[in-house]
Amino acid sequence: MPTLATLPPSPLTLCLLGTGNMGLPMARRLAQAGYPVRVWNRTQAKAEVLAADGAVICATPRQACTGADITLSLLENGDVVEQVLFGLGADSACHGLASGSLVIDMASIQPRQARAHAQRLQTQGVRHLDAPVSGGTVGAEAGTLAIMVGGDVEDAAQAAPIFNVLGRATHVGPHGSGQLAKLANQMIVGITIGAVAEALLLCEQGGADPAKVREAITGGFADSRILQLHGQRMVQRNFAPGARMGVQLKDLRNAQTTAAEVGLEVPITDFFAQLYTSAVEHGFDQLDHSGLFAELARRNGLQ
C-alpha cells in the first residue's frame, strides 16, 4: 500500500474554499496525496501556510475555482456557503466553475440549503454533492473522517478517491441527505456530551473519582467515543476547542429548523439547544463542545 507521499499525482485539479480548522488539514492531505490544489480563504494568511505543501493560493473564490475539476467547500455555515458561491459579485465561485465540474460542499448546513445550492448550480451545468464530515480536527489530520454524502450516486463514485484520502464516505441518499445524516450525528453527539457531563459531575459531587468512574464503565453499555474522548476532557478540564460550543449550537438549531419543516417534534434536541444557548450566553462559546460540562458546573455553583 503506497503512502500519501508516494501516491502518483492525480490528473484532477482541486479547489478548496475555506482553510479553517477543518479545511486546512484536509487541503494539506489532498496536496500531499498528489492532487494539484488551489485554495482560497477570506483571511488569506490562513491559507498561505499551504504553499509549503504545493497548494496555489488564490485571491478570490472565482480565481480558485477556475480550472478546477472538483471544488470542495469547508465554510462556516449555509449563509456563508451561499455568499461565496453566488453572492460576491464577479468574485463569486459560480463564475469560475466550469460546466461539468463538481462541487462538494463539506460544510454543515441545513438540508434545504444544500438542495437549493444543488438546483442553482445545475442550471449552469455544475454537479453538486453535500458531504459534511464528523471526526473533528483530529480526524481531518489523520484522514479518518466520517463523510456523509448526499447527491447522485455517479457523482459520489467520481469523488470516492478524494474521500478515501480524507476518511470513510457513505452515500446516504439524494441531495440534502448528507446534511440530514450530519444533523443526526450532531444531535447524538450534543445530547451524549450532556449525559456524560452530568453523570461525571454527579460522581464528583458525590465523592467518587470521576476519572476512575470513567474507567470503571468503559466496556459497558454506557461506553462510547464521547465518554472516552470528551469524558477525558471533562476529567482534565481541558476544553481547548476542537469543535466549538457555538458550532454545536448552530447544528442543533439547524436540526430544530429541519424537524419543524418535516413536522417532527424533537423535545430532547430542543432541551439541549437551550443548554448550549445558555453556555454560549455565559461566555463559553469558544470552548470545545465538551465544555457543556462547564455550563452544568456553573449552574450548580461549582468551579
pTM of the model: 0.89
Q: Which residue has the higher pLDDT, 204 or 4?
A: 204
CA distances from 23 to 29, 56, 57, 223 (A): 10, 15, 14, 30
CA dihedral 124, 125, 130, 131 (to 10 degrees): -130
- Average pLDDT, stretch 20-25? 94
- Average pLDDT, stretch 209-232? 97
C-alpha cell at 48: 498561505
- Average pLDDT, stretch 257-280? 97
C-alpha cell at 197: 457531563
147: closest CA among 110, 185, 191, 113? 185
For residues 214 and 285, what is the distance between their CA atoms, to the nearest angstrom? 26
In sequence order, what are the residues at sequence separation of 6 or more whose Cβ sits closer than 8 angstroms to the Cβ of residue 291?
Answer: 239, 245, 279, 284
- Average pLDDT, stretch 278-295? 96
- Average pLDDT, stretch 10-30? 93
Interstrand relation of 37-40 and 14-17 (parallel, antiparallel or unpaired): parallel
Q: Please name each of the domains of the chain with its CATH number.
A: 4-174 (3.40.50.720), 181-299 (1.10.1040.10)
Does the active-site annotation cover 212?
no
pLDDT band at residue 10 using 50, 70 and 90 as cut-offs: low
**Bridge partners for 170 per DSSP:** 148
- Average pLDDT, stretch 25-46? 96
pLDDT, tens digit, 9 for 90 and up, residues 125-166: 999 999 999 988 889 999 999 999 999 999 999 999 999 999
For residues 106 and 17, what is the distance between their CA atoms, to the nearest angstrom? 10
pLDDT, tens digit, 9 for 90 and up, residues 73-120: 999 999 999 999 999 999 999 999 999 999 999 999 999 999 999 999
pLDDT in the model for residue 136: 86
Q: Which residue has the higher pLDDT, 244 or 120?
A: 120
State the average pLDDT for the chain. 94
Share of the chain above pLDDT 70, in %: 97
Angle at 82 between CA 77 and CA 87, to 5 degrees: 135
The one catalytic residue in 46, 182, 212, 250 is: 182
- Average pLDDT, stretch 32-49? 96
- Average pLDDT, stretch 267-296? 97
pLDDT in the model for residue 202: 98
- Average pLDDT, stretch 46-61? 97
- Average pLDDT, stretch 201-215? 97
103: closest CA among 152, 146, 47? 152
- Average pLDDT, stretch 180-203? 97
pLDDT for 5 beyond 50: no
Phi, psi of 55 (to 5 degrees): -75, 150
